[in-house]
Amino acid sequence: MFSFCADPKSLEGIAWFACYLTSGKHLYFYVSIGTVLLLLAITVPVALAFGFAGAMAARSHFAPLSILGRIYISAVRGVPDIIFFLFVPIALDQAFEWVRHKTKCPDWTEPIRRGADFVVCPQAKLPLSSSPQWVHETYGFFLAVLAFAIVFGAFSANVLYGAMQAIPKAQTETAEAYGMTRRQVFRRIVVPQMWVYALPGLSNLWMILVKATPLLFLLGIEDIVYWAKQLGGSKRSIESEYPHGDWRLAYFLVLLVFYLGMTKLSEGVFGRLYRRLSHGQATMAGEEQRRGRA
């Protein structure tokens, strides 16, 4: 990046570190931090949407829908996360390709399943072999987001379901006595108040989601853990521009600080949000706020 970095072998001290930390591979390391933050920014609302839909389905009065919602919550929560992170992207990828295969290659006569192999026509491949590299990376990131959203959506569904059930029955019964329909009660009474009951559980899920981001490596995405391992490993070959010893401890220490910083920032944000949502609510936190003002 700097003009004096043309000949790394002639560098020493601060100049060497300045060039080393701005080398091409380090730029990938910095970009991978953005990848993790982007994953969190996209996954959270998608997972909440899955969770809200799952919670509504579980408490539905329509038996088949209620059973489906409960199966989703129980099945995903009962299987180790790592299995889902490996299974869901493969299953989704093959499902998408199967649909495209049936649409684009209706005259295909050969079997799609050939033992352990899954073979579709070239036009149905996702992405196409002729697609640029960024398309392949975007598609892999899309599958990763879906995998994280499905898993954490089930956990958030359980939290939201419990929060909906925690709303005092007297409030919903009073609303119905005033002539509100079930939909109106749900929209005006249950949904506005459930967040204060759900927030502690959702904050814990957020922390778990943050700690689960290193699993991106299992999905073929070069995340910060991958680059920390690559950059921190011993670089002593003649071809290496910046040879050094085993610095993995230092790189993993950087990751430790990064994740602890994310945790501390999250605790502050959730604390303020909880105090705001508790204002005027019939909860212990709301009662403490009323006593404080008195």
Q: What is the pLDDT of residue 85?
A: 78
| High-pLDDT (> 70) share of the chain, % | 89
Q: What is the pLDDT of residue 159?
A: 92
Helix (H, G, I), strand (E, B) or coil at 14: helix
Q: Alpha-carbon torsion 50, 74, 201, 143, what sign?
A: negative
Q: What is the pLDDT of residue 282?
A: 53
Identity (one letter) of the amino acid at 92? L
Q: What is the pLDDT of residue 52?
A: 92
Q: What is the mean pLDDT of the chain?
A: 82
Position 66 pLDDT exceeds 50: yes
Position 184 pLDDT exceeds 80: yes
pLDDT tens across 195-215, in order?
A: 888 988 999 999 988 888 887
Domain ranges of the chain: 19-235+243-293
More confident residue, 271 or 242: 271
Task: Please list, in sequence order, all residues whose beta carbon lies within 8 angstroms of the beta carbon of residue 101, skipping any fewer than 6 positions away.
Answer: 108, 112, 120, 121, 124
- Over range 242-252, report the average pLDDT: 83
Taking CB atoms within 8 Å and a gap of at least 24, the contacts of 17-22 are 19/242, 20/242, 20/244
19-235+243-293 CATH choice from 3.40.50.300, 1.25.10.10, 1.10.3720.10, 1.20.1050.10? 1.10.3720.10
DSSP state string for 65-107: HHHHHHHHHHHHHTS-HHHHHHHHHHHHHHHHHHHHHHHH-TT
| High-pLDDT (> 90) share of the chain, % | 12
More confident residue, 8 or 163: 163
- Over range 97-105, report the average pLDDT: 87
| CA separation for the pair 243, 19 (Å, rounded) | 12
Place of tokens 């390709």: 97
Task: Please list, in sequence order, all residues whose beta carbon lies within 8 angstroms of the beta carbon of residue 290, skipping any fewer than 6 positions away.
Answer: none
Alpha helices in 191-281 (DSSP H): 191-212, 224-232, 248-278
Q: What is the pLDDT of residue 294?
A: 47
Position 287 pLDDT exceeds 50: no
More confident residue, 11 or 210: 210
Q: What is the pLDDT of residue 290?
A: 47
Nearest to 88 by CA among 97, 76, 70: 76
pLDDT tens across 29-43, in order?
A: 888 888 888 989 999
DSSP state string for 190-217: IHHHHHHHHHHHHHHHHHHHHHHGGGGG
